[in-house]
Amino acid sequence: MSDTREFDLIIVGTGPAGMAAAIAARRHGLSVLALDEQAAPGGQIWRAIEANAARSKTLDADYAAGLATVHSFRSSGAEALFGASVWNVDTDGSVIWSRDGVAASANGKRVLLATGAIERAMPIAGWQLPGVLTVGAAQILLKTSGLRPKGRVWLAGQGPLLRLYAAQAIAAGGALAGVIDLQPVTTTRAAFHHLPAALSRWRDLLKGLRWKAAVRHAGVPWLAATAIAAHGDGRLSEVHITTRAGERREPADLLLLHDGVVPSVQISRALGLAHDWHAAQRCWHPRIDAAGRTSEERILIAGDGAGIAGALAAVEAGTIAGLAVAQDLGRVDAAACVDEIAGASRRRAAYVGMRPLLDALFPPLPVRPADDTIICRCEEVTAGRLREAAKLGCLGPNQLKTYSRCGMGPCQGRNCGLAVSEIIAEARGVPVEEVGYLRQRFPTKPVTLGELAAMWERK
Amino acid sequence: MFERPASDAAMITILVDGRPVAARDGDSVAAALLAAGLAITRTTPVGGAPRGPYCMMGACFDCLAVIDGVASRQACLTTVREGMRVERQEGARDLVATSAGP
Amino acid sequence: MTDVVVIGGGLHGLSAALQLARRGKRVTILERRYVGRHSSTATAAGVRRLGRDPREIALSVVAMEMWHGMAGIVGDDCGFHAGGQIRVAETTADLAKNERRANETRAAGWTHEELIDRAELRRVVPSIAPHCLGAIISRADGAADPFRAVTMWRRACEAAGVEIRENAGVVALEPRARGWRVVTPVGAIDGEFVVNAAGAWARDIAALAGETIACGVKASMMIATERLPPFLAATVGATGRPLSFKQTAEGTVLIGGGHQGRNDPATESSVVDFRNLATAARIATELFPHMTGVRILRCWTGIEAQTADDIPVIGPSVAAPGLFHSFGYSGHGFQLFPAVGVALAELIVRGATNLPIAAFAADRLTTPAGE
C-alpha cells in the first residue's frame, strides 16, 4: 500500500444520511470518499433501488422517493467504493477498509459515520434455527431479489416494519400464514398523549393504519400473542404461539421476526465515544450535537446510527452534517448556509417529532427469554448461563468473558449485545444503563491475517 | 419459503454442495439459496448446529459458507457468478482452504 | 480492622490473597473496576520458563511445579495445557543464538531448555513454514486460559473467606499506629499489612504511601482469530523476531509478540495500532503460511506495567513499613502469579521467604525520599 489518499470528508455508509452528506459537501467543493459494504448505494431502506427502478419495480412511494437522492449522489462527484467493509476508524480521521480481499486506507479531515440501524435481536426459543430470519432480511430479499413469501410463512414481533413488510409482501403477490403480534394492547392508550407532537406527519400515521388494513383485507390472520417459540429438528418446522386462548402449534417453513431497529454503534463505540441510554427505545445513542459533531473533532455521526428517526430524517441530518463539515473546514460561511440548515432542521424536527408517539405505540418487547434460549448465537451461550454468571458476581457484559465466550464470536456482540445487557441488568436488579454494553474494538468487521499483513508493505 | 415471480431477468447456474442451482444474475449467494428453498449454509464450530441466513445484511455472520474454496465468506455479501461453488462449512473452517481472494 | 488489604483484583492480587487466607489471615481485596479487568484478561497467557531472564528462572521453575498441580491448588486446571513452548530459528544466526542460550541455562543448572533440529521441529509443529531450521523448546511449558484462571482463583479466594470489593479504587493510604488505613470513595478499611498488586497503577499506589518507584507502561497487542480445527499444541515464538502464536482449546489462534499499540492509564483506555499489528500478522503468516486467509475477529491491547530492567518488583516496600509489592511484570507475569502469592504470604506471615525473589527487590527502582 503506497501513499495514503487524503480527502476532506470520508463517509462510512451510503444510505440516506451518507448520500445526503456527500451531496451537500460536494456542493461546496469538498473532496468526498464514500464507502459502503453493499454493492450499491441506498443503505437498507433504499436497498437495490437503482436495480429495481431499472426493472420498474419501486414497491411504493416511500421507496421510490429514494431514487432522487441516489441520482444526486451518483452525479455529485463523490468518489464511491462499494463492497468496501470498513474495519478501522481512528480519531485522527484515518479509515481502513477491506475490498476484494485487499485492505486499504485513506485519511479524512473529517469522517462521517452513517452506518444506520440494525434489527434489534428478538431472542425466542429456536430463533437460531435455519428458516428463522428477520423481517428486515425478508424485505431485503424482496428488494434485491424479488423474492416474495410462499408457503407457511409467519411474521412475529411488533413495530411498524412488521405491518409494512406484510403489506408489501401481499402487494407483491406473496402469501402469509399469519402475523403474530406480540405488542401488549395497553400501550396504545398510553401513547395518545404523544399524538399532538406527531400530528404534522399525520400522513405517515395514517400509513400504518392502512398497512394493517391491507393485510386484514387479504385475509391474513392477525393474532395477538404473548409468546412464540420456533421448533424443528435442525430446521424450522413449527411455531408454538401462546395466546390468551391457549397454546397453538402451527406448521411453518419460514418465521420472520421483528422487534424494531436500533442504531448500529459498533464504530462509534470502538472509537470510545460517549453513548447515552434512551429509555423509551431501550438502546444507546452516541452523544452528538445538533449538527452531528461528537466529542472527537474529526468524527461526526448522522442518520439512524445516531438514533432511530427514519430515512427522511436521516436525509436532513446528513445534509446538516455535510454543511457543518463544509463550514468547519472553512469552505463556506455559516451565513451562507443558515437558511438551508434551518430548513433541514425544521423538516428533521417534524420527523423526529413523530418518534415519541411511535416509541410509545411500539415499545420494544420485554427481554425475558427462558434459560435455555440461546442469546449469543455465535458462541451458543444461553440466557441461563448469563443469569448464572450474574449470580456468581458478574457485574456486566465485559466481565462475562471470565464466565463464558458470550460476545467473542464473529459478530462481536452485534446481535446479542442489547439482550445481554438487559438480561444481566434484570438478574442483578439494576438499570440497564448501569450494566453497560459489550466493549467494541476495531476491527469492526473481520479482516484476514493476509490482508493485514500486506498493508504498508513496499511493493 | 420464498418464490420468485416469472421475469426476463438473466439466470445463471451455481453449484451448491455439487448440485446445480438456478440463481438470478445479481443475487447474493444467500438469496439464491433461499430462493431454492435451501436454508442451511453451515454447522457451528461450537455445537455442530445447522445455521443459515438470518439478517441478510452482513451483521449476523450466520450465513458463512465455503465459496469458491474460500471459507468463512458471508453468503449475503457475496454476489453469485456463473459456476460459483458454494459448499456447506462444517464446524470450524477447513485449514486447507485457499487463502484470501475472491 | 483486617489483617491484609490487597490492592488490585488481578491474578497477582488473587494469588496473594488466597495464600494469605489459607495461612489464617483475614484478607480484603480492593479492586477499582472488576476482578481481572486489565492485564489478567488481556494476557496471551503463556505458561513458560523458556527464554526467561536468568533472574526469573528459579521463581518460574517453582511456579511451573504449581501449574502442573493447579487442580490441587484451586480445584481446576485453569485450562493449562503443557503442549510445549518453542522459539523457532529461522536463520543460522538464530540457531547460534539458541545454542548460546541452551548452553547458558544448562551451565546455570537448568534442564528444561532443549535444542531440537529441523526434523523434530516439524514433528512438534507440522504446520511450521519450511524455511525454519530448528528450535529451542521447553516441553513441559504451555499455555492456559486466563479467563478461566481469573474465575477459578476468584472462587478459591471466596471459598477461603477472602472479601472482594469491586468498584472500590484506592485514593489514599494513611499510616496508622499499626498498619494502614486504605481509603476508597465508598469507605475505608484498616489493615495491618497492604499488598500492592495494582499492575500499571501500582506506581501510583506506592506514591500514595510516599514511595517513589520508577515504572512505566506497555501496550502489547493481541490478535484472536476465528475458530480453526486443532493443528497446534505448542506455543510458538521466533528467536529472531517478536511473535507469540498459539491455538486455544476452542480452536481460535492468539497472536502476540509485544507489538505495541497505544494506551492511557489515566483513562484506562487503549487503542490498537494497525500499522504495528500488521508486522505481527506478517510474521505469523510467514511462519504459518496456511494462516493467510484466516479471519481476525478481535484485536486488543492492554495496560501493563513495564519496568526499566524488564523484571518485576516483588517484596517489602523500602519506604513504607507493612507495604508489600507485586507488580511490574513487564509482559511476562502470568506464569509467575501462583508462586509470587506464596512468597508474599510467607513474607507477611513468617517475615521471610525461601522463594527466589531477591533479584526483584524494590530498592533497585525506588528513589529515596528527598531526591
**What is the C-alpha separation between C289 and C286, in angstroms, rounded?**
6
The alpha carbon of residue A2 and the mean position of all alpha carbons in its chain are separated, in whole angstroms, by: 35
Residue A207 has a pLDDT of 77
Strand C2-7 relative to strand B89-90, pairing: unpaired
Closest to A381 measured CA to CA, from A343, A428, A413:
A413
Topology alike, domains A5-118+262-357 and A121-259? yes
Exposed/middle/buried for residue A354 (C-beta within 10 Å: 0-12, 13-18, 19+): buried
The answer, for C28 touching chain A at a CB cutoff of 8 Å, is no
Is the Cβ–Cβ distance between A215 and A174 less than 8 Å? no
Cβ–Cβ of B72/C295 closer than 8 Å? yes
**pLDDT tens readout for residues B12-34:** 999 999 999 999 999 999 999 99
Q: How far is CA C29 from CA C2, C26, C169, in A?
A: 11, 10, 10
Q: How far is CA C37 from CA A272, A394, C199, C312, in A?
A: 17, 12, 11, 20
CA-CA distance, A410 to A234, in Å (whole number)? 21
Q: How far is A189 from chain B (nearest CA, A)?
A: 32
CB–CB contact B93 C227 (8 Å): yes
Residues 68-97 (B) with a CB less than 8 A from some CB of A: 72, 77, 79
Chain-chain contact of B96 with C231 (C-beta, under 8 angstroms): no
Distance CA A114, CA A73 (A): 14
Contact A291, A266 (CB under 8 A): no
CB of C104 less than 8 A from some CB of A: no
Is pLDDT of B99 > 50?
no
Nearest residue on chain C to B93, alpha-carbon basis: C228
Nearest to C82 by CA among C24, C54, C124: C124
C349 SS3 class? helix
Confidence check: pLDDT of C359 > 60: yes
For chain A, residues with pLDDT lower than 50 are: 1, 459
Sheet containing B85-87: order of strands: B19-24, B11-16, B85-87, B64-67, B70-74
Residue of B92, B99, B101 with shortest CB distance to C251: B92
Q: Which grid coordinates belong to B97?
A: 482452504
Per DSSP (E only), the strands in A83-164 are: 85-89, 94-99, 102-113, 117-119, 132-134, 148-149, 153-158
Q: C295 contacts in B (CB within 8 Å)?
A: 72
Residue B98 pLDDT exceeds 50: no
Candidates A147, A264, A410; nearest CB to B2: A147
Nearest in space to A32 (alpha carbons), one of A47, A13, A50, A46: A13
- Candidate from B92, B98, B101 with C-beta closest to C227: B92
Contact by Cβ (8 Å): C335, C63 = yes
| pLDDT over threshold 60, residue B100 | no
Task: Find the closest chain C residue to A398 by CA distance.
Answer: C37
CB < 8 Å to B91, chain C: 229
ipTM of the complex: 0.94
Cα separation, C16 vs B45, in Å, equals 38
The minimum CA-CA distance between A85 and chain C, rounded to whole Å, is: 13
Domain locations in chain A as residue ranges: 5-118+262-357, 121-259, 374-435
Instruction: Tell me, yes or no, if B93 comes closer than 8 A to chain C by beta carbon.
Output: yes
- Subunits with 3+ Cβ pairs within 8 Å of B are A, C
Helix then strand count (H, E) for chain A reads 16, 23
A374-435 has CATH 1.20.1440 classification:
no
- Assigned fold of A121-259: FAD/NAD(P)-binding domain (3.50.50)
Cell of C157: 479466594
**B3 in Cβ contact with B51 (< 8 Å):** no
Q: How many Å lie between the alpha carbon of C14 and the closest alpha carbon of chain B?
A: 31
Scanning every residue of chain C, which has its alpha carbon at the shortest distance from the alpha carbon of B99?
C293
- Percent of chain C exceeding pLDDT 90 equals 98
CB contact under 8 A, C294 and A448: yes
Q: Using DSSP, state whether C257 is helix, strand or coil.
A: coil
Contact B54 A409 (CB under 8 A): no
Residues B89 and A247: their CA atoms lie apart, in Å, by 37
Angle at B34 between CA B31 and CA B35, to 5 degrees: 80
Residue B1 at interface with chain C, using a CB cutoff of 8 Å: no
The chain-wide mean pLDDT, for chain C, equals 97
Interface mutation target, options C125, C127, C225, C226, chain B, most CBs of B under 10 Å: C226
Tell whether C284 is within 8 A of chain A (Cβ): yes
> How close A105 gets to chain B, by Cα (Å)?
18
The answer to whether domain A5-118+262-357 has CATH 3.50.50.60 is yes
Please give, rounded to a whole number of angstroms, the shortest distance from the CA of A215 to a CA of chain C. 42
- Copy the grid coordinates of residue A244: 390468551
Residue range C71-86, pLDDT digits in tens: 999 999 999 999 999 9
pLDDT for C230 equals: 96
Residue A231, helix vs strand vs coil: strand
Helix (H) or strand (E) holding A46: none
**Shortest distance, CA A250 to any CA of chain C (angstroms):** 37
Give the nearest chain C residue to B47 (CA atoms): C250
Identify the chains in contact with C, defined as 3+ C-beta pairs within 8 A.
A, B
Cα–Cα distance for residue pair A257/A260, rounded to 1 Å: 10
**Could you please report the per-residue DSSP string of A315-372?**
HHHHHHHHHHHHHHTTSS-HHHHHHHHHHHHHHHHHHHHTHHHHHHHSPPPP----TT
Contacts of C351 (CB under 8 A, 6+ apart): none
> How many CB atoms within 10 Å of residue A353?
18
Residue type, B33: L
Query: What's the pLDDT score for residue C297?
Result: 95
CB contact under 8 A, A131 and B27: no
Render pLDDT for C118-151 as a digit per residue (tens, 0 to 9): 999 999 999 999 999 999 999 999 999 999 999 9
At position C363, the amino acid (one-letter code) is D
The reply to whether B50 touches chain A by the CB within 8 Å rule is yes
B94 contacts chain C (CB < 8 A): yes
C-alpha cell at A83: 463492497
What is residue C107's predicted lDDT score, i.e. its pLDDT? 97
> What is the grid cell recorded at C111?
534442564
* Residue A271 vs residues A437, B90, C262, C350: alpha-carbon distances, Å: 14, 35, 13, 49
